[in-house]
Amino acid sequence: MSKIGQYILFLGALFKNPESFRTYFRLTVDECVYIGLNSITIVAIVSVFMGAVSTVQTAYNLISPLIPDSVIGLVVRDLTILELAPTITAIVFAGKVGSSIAGNLGTMRITEQIDALEVMGINSASYLVLPKVIATIFMYPFLVILAGVLAIGGGYLAAEFAGALAPADYLSGLQSSFNEFGVFFALIKSVVFGFLISSISAYMGYYTKGGALEVGQSSTKAVTVSCIAILLSDFILAQLMLGS
């Protein structure tokens, strides 16, 4: 519980003694490039294969003659929007970006760069962490949208080239019984996941103690705790917004 209390106090410290808007804007733009644009490749690769595998496996399991092939496209679409795009991508994102945030801040802590900022009267938590949190909250929903589109596209490629089902049936399933709330729900989850990944990873790195070994341990803890937080919040959000 002490760690949770320290984490909450850490979040509160992000908004104390802020720097100028121009400073935060510049730092946030830099973080958007580092966090968002540099993650596009891994997100794209994972998403395409995720959609293709989902299509093949769904087609393999739905073998009843009473179930039309178009249902496969519907299942892949809803599964992608509600779960695969926001949640599975978040776990990959935590492994890439979360570990990087924790490692960078941990290195700054053990090399006393954070202490130097404090000596100069700068709120190091706000200066170093707040732009990362804002950039992640802003960029991760775009990555989720990209992941969803590419996953559905990957499903079409599986239908076209792997022979899982006829492409026309897949497209028909994509267009049937669409509920726009699913997209809104996915974007809500992406904002929450982005905040959790960035803030937890920054917390782990900011309070690193020791040397290079402890920096690696902080990065590992950041990914582990972020993944647990993602799955827990995923369940809570699903229960709140989709539960009866």
pLDDT one-digit tens code per residue, 156-180 = 888 888 777 888 888 888 888 888 8
Looking at residue 7, its pLDDT comes to 87
CA distance 231 to 44: 22
What pLDDT, on a 0 to 100 scale, did the predictor assign at position 222?
92
C-alpha distances (whole Å) from 59 to each of 30, 51, 69, 152 are 43, 12, 8, 14
Alpha carbon distance 234, 197 (integer Å): 13
Per DSSP, the residues of 39-66 read GHHHHHHHHHHHHHHHHHHHHHH---TT
Whether 72 and 165 have beta carbons less than 8 Å apart is answered as yes
Give the domain ranges of the chain: 2-239
Is the pLDDT score of 122 beyond 70?
Answer: yes
Residue 73: the pLDDT is 84
Express each pLDDT in 198-237 by its tens digit.
Answer: 999 999 998 988 888 888 888 999 999 999 999 999 999 9
* Residue among 17, 42, 44 nearest 100 (CA): 42
CB 208 within 8 A of CB 214: yes
Give this prediction's pTM: 0.90
Residue 80 has pLDDT above 60, yes or no: yes
Q: Could you list the beta-strand ranges (E) of the chain.
A: none
What was the pLDDT predicted at 1? 67
Q: Over 60: is that where the pLDDT of 68 sits?
A: yes
The mean pLDDT value for 116-137 works out to 89
Please work out, in degrees rounded to the nearest 5, the angle formed at the alpha carbon of residue 6 by the alpha carbons of 2 and 10: 170
Dihedral, CA atoms, 5, 6, 9, 15, nearest 10 degrees? -140
Residue 244, pLDDT score: 54
Residue 22: what pLDDT? 87
Mean pLDDT of 2-21: 84
**What does the pLDDT average to over 184-193?**
93
| Mean per-residue pLDDT of the chain | 88
Percent of the chain with pLDDT over 90: 39
